[in-house]
Chains A and B, each alone.
Chain A
Amino acid sequence: MSERTTELADLVGEEHAATGRDYAAGFVTEIEADTLPPGLDESIVRAISAKKEEPSWMTEWRLDAFRRWLSMPPPRWAHVQFPDIDFQAISYFSAPKGDAPKSLDEVDPELLRTYEKLGIPLHERARLAGVDTAGEDAPQVAVDAVFDSVSVATTFKERLAEAGVVFCAMSEAVREHPDLVRRYLGSVVPKPDNFYSALNSAVFSDGSFVYVPKGTRCPMELSTYFRINAENTGQFERTLIIADEGAYVSYLEGCTAPMRDDNQLHAAVVELVALEDAEIKYSTVQNWYPGDEQGNGGIYNFVTKRGACLGDRSKISWTQVETGSAITWKYPSVVLRGADSVGEFYSVALTRNRQQADTGTKMTHIGPRTKSTIVSKGISAGNSQNSYRGRVRMNPGARGARNYTQCDSLLIGDACGAHTFPYIESKLPSAVIEHEATTSKVSDEQLFLCQQRGIDPEKAVAMIVNGFCRDVFRTLPMEFAVEAAKLLEVSLEGAVG
């Protein structure tokens, strides 16, 4: 084990303004880190487990996952291209030095400043940045801040506890709520589900744990903010959200990373469990560093997200706004087991420069009268490749089930690609599947109308693209919809040739 100070440079300086103007989150935080050496073997898995002071069942669970991972090949079917990853060159654990803070007052001020700069308040008075229009009546948001491999702060814990809601770092949940963790961890995404879920199960660091008890409506939005800071370090967070019978929770995830020339791996697993009449709304605004115009650097975002509608009439809704990452490989899915359960997937994925995204969803209908809706909006610009990949499966028990899918692609410029790969599988006549897809561009007529009214082309394209995404943005909590629209606008700067 080595301890070293992370190498640092503030990339937001004037000299980098040309490349950094559209990625404001690209700075590095100067903080002493406790980092495991690169490489992966059983001793590393044990070391991670020991650092987190985990019980032995957790260590064994990780080792089992690690052994399975060793025999699995990485997936190659996605419409993305990248050189093989050297898993021995990555460090699997990095954390700010020192004991874990016991309260917000003890958090390293440098970390507080980092999150402040990113617009994420780690004190309990302020609202999220960019919500100025919402004023004092804005709903408060509880935040779990994950910095590299550890959770550095979780706000509003006491107020949530009053409502019986558990919101804490995953490592804390392993110690404090072992029964829930043992029961549900890996129940939705089994360890050997795929190559990256097996890897995550072996080395996962931190992430959020949420439990909303029976009949409880979570009193505020929950949010986790992921930040990769250290160099050559993978982030392997693990999130588990359980909504007990009749419970409701809305959860938001945000992510950024510094601009670095090397690719960094982010292989998360998110599991959602909705029991009878429960509802989980999970929103992501993904803004990992996408790499530069030549395709150097950026995050490899290889994530497994899946929800299980276990109970009757339960509902899981995924909304994602993806603008970041060099490569995205991500299919937030719903297994619709309970009768009359509902799954939703709303997605905006924007790619530019040399970004590649292969993202979509899987809706697996098992229970009777289950319903799913998929709305995917892909925007490709520059030299990027943007693919929707989705599977809708009607299993024999899904009598009266329904799916509706709408996939639209918008191309900006003639050097990019937009692709649609839907898999439609049905084994019973009473289930109905409808799928539609279109491809279009921002038309010259639309652009000319805007210009004739005095709106410059860049602003016009941003407005038209926002309009194209409206069906997805309206499913986001209001303040995040504003943030998402702004993010899109910034990402489109310079995309109009």
Chain B
Amino acid sequence: MTLLRIEDLHVEVDGKEILAGIDLAVDAGEVHAVMGPNGSGKSTLANVLAGRPGYDVIRGSMTVDGADVSALSPEERSLRGLFLAFQYPVEIPGVSNMEFLKAAVDAHALGRGDEPPSAVDFVKRARVAAGRLQLNPDFLKRGVNDGFSGGEKKRNEILQMLILEPRLAVLDETDSGLDIDGLQVVADGINAFRANTNAVVLVTHYQRLLNYVVPDHVHVLADGRIVHSGDRKLAVELEERGYGWLAN
């Protein structure tokens, strides 16, 4: 079953075309890696899926579970199960992680027509997820990303993914800024999340995360187009030969 379908997607930022006709289909149970050199449009693809203001869809469509999401607000896309792990998570001083997560979990519950979880149940869930990512429980009381190290910010993104249980998780450069231990912990989190009912799109420059999270498909993006697709062997080849041979 196709979870995400992108067809002939053209996107402009500040009037400049960044994505020039992307086609991509992601089925439930799959992990896709989108790779490419800096400036190829990888992050634009992640951001436009999540509905970031300023990323204008000029042509084409993006459907999640068969419904076009192009016109939906970011929060509506979130409630439909689309999750973006940010490359640079923003700081929100004074708002605790716990408070922030509870607001998100409540919004998702209400969106499904469910009662929001009780505070006690929620805290339990959050603690378990934090433990899995080897985050100190105190972490939940700190301001959202406020004063976090680069690695803590990335773990926090995965923590939110585990708690919100999206249908489609788009992880934008989640491996950058992580040391070896952090990479292992984050990869374990992603692998634990993988299921037949959801899908993951990994946006990454390097293939090192792919040693831990094995993708079913690898796509190479250059100048706003997917120029090559293959299986995980493509990622290894890219690591050895760089991107140059594909772009030319």
Contacts and interface: CB of A to CB of B under 8 A. Distances in A.
A471 B95 CA distance: 11
Nearest to B91: A446
Interface in B88-109: 89-90, 92-96, 99-100, 103-104, 107-108
A444 interface: yes
Name the residue among A453, A456, A467, A469 with the largest chain B CB count within 10 angstroms: A453
A475 interface: no
Interface residues of B, number: 31
Name the residue among B75, B77, B89, B164 with the largest chain A CB count within 10 angstroms: B75
B164 A453 contact: yes
Contact of B83 (A444, A452, A455, A457): A452
Contact of A468 (B93, B104, B164): B93
Interface residues of A, number: 23
Contacts of B103: 450, 453, 455, 459, 463
B134 to A, nearest CB: 22
Contacts of A470: 94-95
Given A453-B100, A455-B103, A459-B103, A445 B78 contact: no
A464 B144 CA distance: 10
B92 A464 contact: yes
A451 B53 CA distance: 11
A426 interface: no
B173 to A, nearest CB: 16
Name the residue among B50, B73, B84, B92 with the largest chain A CB count within 10 angstroms: B92
B52 interface: yes
A453 to B, nearest CB: 4
Interface string A434-469: 000000000111101111111111010001101111
B234 to A, nearest CB: 29
Given A453-B78, A466-B95, A448 B107 contact: no
Nearest to A468: B94
B74 interface: yes
B99 A463 contact: yes
Contact of A453 (B94, B99, B160): B160
Contacts of B94: 466-471
B64 to A, nearest CB: 14
A405 B35 CA distance: 49
B95 A454 contact: no
Contacts of A454: 75, 78-79, 104, 107-108, 111, 164
B108 A445 contact: no
B78 A452 contact: yes
Nearest to A133: B119
Contacts of B95: 463-464, 466-467, 470
A398 B91 CA distance: 39
A459 B100 CA distance: 11
A443 B107 CA distance: 21
B78 A451 contact: yes
Contacts of A466: 94-95
B47 to A, nearest CB: 9
B86 interface: yes
A448 B144 CA distance: 14
Given A443-B90, A450-B100, A457-B75, 13 more contacts: A448-B52, A452-B75, A452-B77, A452-B84, A454-B104, A454-B108, A455-B103, A455-B107, A456-B75, A459-B103, A464-B92, A466-B95, A467-B144
5 contacts: A449-B90, A450-B100, A454-B111, A457-B75, A470-B94
The 7 closest A-B pairs by CB, nearest first: A467-B94, A467-B95, A451-B74, A454-B78, A470-B94, A453-B104, A445-B90
Interface of A: 443-446, 448-457, 459, 463-464, 466-471
